[in-house]
Amino acid sequence: MEIVELNARLIMLHHDLLESDLTRSVIGAFYEVYNTLGYGFLEQVYTLALERELQWKGHRVAREVQIPVIYKGLDLAKQRLDMLVDHTLIIETKATSELPQAATRQLYNYLRATDLEVGLLLHFGPRPRFHRVFHRSRASTMANGAAR
């Protein structure tokens, strides 16, 4: 009985994740690309293969999307996202032997610069790894009445 309760909690937690179906689909595509190509290609090769795989799954994919960085109302600079899936999920890809420490922070800042809340950092390294990054958007916070 405890196992059933534990499994029910895990299932409930899984359903509470933002964009769980979309992130699951992208993670599946990530592993498909990694298992097909293996380790050692340049990031661009993995990104192109991932783009094709996601399109075959029926997703809308935009690459090299520019987003503004706003500082006190000024459009300070533009940052480029590796990929935007279904206008909802930011994808940052890395193809290095070790994942740079700043990679997760980079994705988090991309989320902060947009009203998007979920991103995936996909590491095509010696062992495939992914990180799910979340940031509560201003629009979401205001809709929940949590804005101060």
What domain range includes position 99?
Answer: 21-143
The answer to whether residue 3 is domain-embedded is no
Q: What would the pLDDT profile of 23-58 be if each residue is shown by its tens digit? A: 999 999 999 999 999 999 999 999 999 999 999 999
The answer to whether residue 58 is domain-embedded is yes
The answer to whether residue 7 is domain-embedded is no
The answer to whether residue 125 is domain-embedded is yes
What mean pLDDT do residues 97-122 have?
91
The answer to whether residue 6 is domain-embedded is no
Q: What is the DSSP string of the chain?
A: -HHHHHHHHHHHHHHHSTTHHHHHHHHHHHHHHHHHH-S-S-HHHHHHHHHHHHHHTT--EEEEEEEEEEETTEEEEEEEEEEEETTTEEEEEE-SSS--TTHHHHHHHHHHHSS--EEEEEEESSSEEEEEEE---HHHHHHTT---
pLDDT over 50 at 65, yes or no:
yes
pLDDT over 70 at 124, yes or no:
yes
Q: What is the CATH number of the domain that holds 110?
A: 3.90.320.10
At residue 10, the pLDDT reads 40
The answer to whether residue 131 is domain-embedded is yes
The answer to whether residue 42 is domain-embedded is yes
At residue 17, the pLDDT reads 65
Q: For all residues of the chain together, what is the average pLDDT?
A: 83
User: For residues 122 and 129, what is the distance between their CA atoms, to the nearest angstrom?
Assistant: 6
Confidence of residue 113 (pLDDT cuts 50, 70, 90): confident
Confidence of residue 72 (pLDDT cuts 50, 70, 90): confident
At residue 114, the pLDDT reads 87
At residue 141, the pLDDT reads 47
Number of domains in the chain: 1
For the chain, report the end-to-end CA distance as a whole number of angstroms: 43
pLDDT over 80 at 144, yes or no:
no
Q: Which pTM was predicted?
A: 0.79
The answer to whether residue 15 is domain-embedded is no
